[in-house]
Structure formats: C-alpha cells, structure tokens
Structure 1
C-alpha cells in the first residue's frame, strides 16, 4: 500500500508517517506540503490512499483542492485530516467525494478505522456528525427541498445572519465578538435568539444549515 500525506506542517507529516509505518507492514508513505506537488506525485506514482489536510495556505489547499482531487481521481480514496470539527466542513468534504474525515483531536485508532474502511470502499464519518444529523430541524429539510437563503434570512435579523455565517465558518463566540465588535455576552444572546427563530437545537445544527446555504464560501480557517 502506498499512502500520500499532504499537510503543510512538517511535524504532522513526520508524526503521521511514523505512525503509519509502525502500524502497517510493507507500507510506503510519501509526504508533501503542497497540493501542486501532490498532483505531480499522483501523476507519477501509483497511490492507493491520500490523507490530506483541509486548510493549507495558498492555492494548494482548501475545499477547492479537495473537490478537484476527488473529481480528477474518483477511484482514489481520499481521507481529510483537519483540526476543524465543524460539521459543515465535514459534510462539505464528504459531498465533494472524500471517503472519510478524521479530526486531528481524534485518537489514532480513528484514523486506522478510517483507512480500513476507505480501502474497502466504505465511508468513515465522525461520531459528531452522525449524532447531529438525525436531529436536524425541519428548516434544514426545507432548504434541501429548495428553500432559498432569502426565505431563511427572513426569519432572522441581519445581525443574526452575520452570526450564522461566522458559526458556519467555524468561529467561536469569542472570535465572532471580536470580528463584529460586540461583547461575547451579546453574541451569546444573538445565537440563542437565532436558534429559536430557526427551530434549531444547537450550534452544530446551525453550522449544517449555514453550509447548506453556502455561507461558508470563501471562509478562511486555521488548521
């Protein structure tokens, strides 16, 4: 098995490579810190599995790279490894064609399970997303049925819509408060009001809704 690791942090590449070499016998592991180099390697070598970081600086990473990778190599299992635990980010990667998503905070056994499933052609979805999806409120079903952002935004104030956009992009209340020049307590009040207006139970559901509305487009996130 030949695995390609794509991550802009050298220590992640080194640590992950060592982990894989220790777990799997006879494995080959190639690492690179940029998407363009990854594409060169894929064109040159026979790769059985790609493990790629979600957010890397420049044009060589991010959602566009994941989408392009899955489109160009539809039969190649792609596992996304990221510090992001935003269900919207997870869902988007899976929608693009990634076969699995593993958070960097997860134990190494989660990665091993994702690899095992990927090699069988089975998807690996984090528990956080599996637990969130059954309880997603009716408003999300309405979006899937074609409800527009205008209809959803009509249920909220402009400020609440701004906050929903920030939640979708994975920002905490503290970060939102700084970005919008509000107190953290004011943000909490707006979040609670927004969830009530939309009939949602928590921020996880709000993030899923925002992703479906495309509110994460152009988001800048850190690893």
Structure 2
C-alpha cells in the first residue's frame, strides 16, 4: 500500500480525493495540509510515499519555491503536482524544480490514479497535451524571430502594451499585433501568460541537497 499526503488549500479537495481512493486500496491518505508550511511540518512527523501538491495556494510559499524546497529536504518523496491552470511552460517549471509529474485538477479519477501510480513507482508523468518537451529556453526561442518580431517581444516582456509598442516603433497597432502573433507561432506559445512563463523558466534543474526552511 502506498501512503499519500495531499496538500491543497481547499480541504474539500483532499476529502474528495480520499473518498475516491476508497475504490483503489493500493493508496491510503495518511495526512493532508492546507499550506506549504503546514505540509513541511506534516512531513516531519508522517512517513509517506507520495506528495500530491496543489501548485497554487495562498501565501508566499507555494509553486516552484515549495517544490524546490521539498526536493532538497525530502528528496526521497516524489511529487505529483495538480493544477487548475495548465500549460507546457508551467509543466516545465514544475519539472525543473523537482516535481516527478503534473496532472490537471479536471482529470478524471482513473487517470489521476494512473498518474499517481507512475510517479510513486519512480516514473514521470505529464497529462496528454501538456508535454514540456517542446519548450525551449527564451534565448533559443527569440533566435527564431525576425529583428522586428524580437523587438516586439522584448518590449512586451518589459511591460509595454501593443498600443504602446506601436507608438514607440512608429507602426500601426495592426502591424504590431501581426508581428506579435507571428512571433508567438514561431516560439510555440499562444498568449501573453505563456510568454511570461517562458521568460521565467529556471535556467537549470534544481538539485537535491541540504537546505534550511525559509
């Protein structure tokens, strides 16, 4: 039997998953937490084989920072990230920080159990359609662009709007919008959120080792 700890700021999520697992006796929930700090305290007192972690929770200690800390302090426990928001760039951030798998919160229970089973056995898992393999570093993505497209993307990343970029470059809003969409296609992204996620990907995977709790 695999021992499971759930971390989600909505207690009902943990209860719903625990109830669903009654039909899957290979897993047993041994604890739940509603914040990153509560999870760390729980892991110091409870032995478990898998952490199912909500990516976004209230407070400063969540997401990539929490994943990286867990990998340093509890390197033997694999992490499966659950998220209501999902994109290849977000998946890449989580995997580079040390997560072993990524699944959507909207995933049905049998597929979620499949993800848990893979991760707890030392394999990786990413939901279909979220493969991080196509994500490339920002510099490499920018190298695919024309000079004008690159200028538009860099101004977007500096906080400028399309209309603001049009003013700065003395072009029409339609021209800037066209260059922006062309750049997005070449970079393999679809919107501004994915652009910012790509720009903030960690440069290197986080290595496990010792560390003090923030």
What TM-score, normalized by structure 2, do the two folds share? Answer: 0.71
Note the alpha carbon deviations across 1:140-160, whole angstroms, 9 max, x for none: 467359x79xx9997132686
SS at match of 2:75: coil
State the partner residue of 1:43: 44
Match of 1:161 in 2: 156
CA distance 1:144–1:95, change in 2 (3 Å): farther
Give the superposed CA RMSD: 3.8
Q: 1:91 to 1:205 in 2, by over 3 A?
A: farther
Normalising by structure 1, we get a TM-score of 0.69
Q: 1:1-223 counterparts in 2 under 5 A? A: 1-25=2-26, 27-130=28-131, 133-134=133-134, 140=136, 143=139, 155-157=150-152, 161-162=156-157, 192-197=178-183, 200=186, 203-204=189-190, 210-214=196-200
Conserved 8 A contact 2:68-2:97: yes
Alpha-carbon distance, 1:23 to partner = 1.7
Q: How far apart, in 2, do the equivalents of 1:38 and 1:24 lie? A: 23
The answer on whether the counterparts of 1:160 and 1:191 sit within 8 Å (CA) in structure 2 is: no
Q: Following the alignment from structure 2 to structure 1, what is the Cα–Cα distance between the partners of residues 93 and 5?
A: 22
- The answer for unaligned runs of 5 or more in structure 1 is 167-175, 178-186, 217-223
Deviations 1:157-194 (A, max 9, x none): 2686249x89xxxxxxxxx99xxxxxxxxx99866532
> Quick check: 58-67 or 45-54, which moved more?
58-67
Change (3 A) 1:199 1:115: closer
The structure in which a higher percent of residues are helix is 1
In structure 2, list runs of 5 or more residues that go unmatched.
163-172, 203-214
Contact 1:87 1:204 in 2 (8 A): no
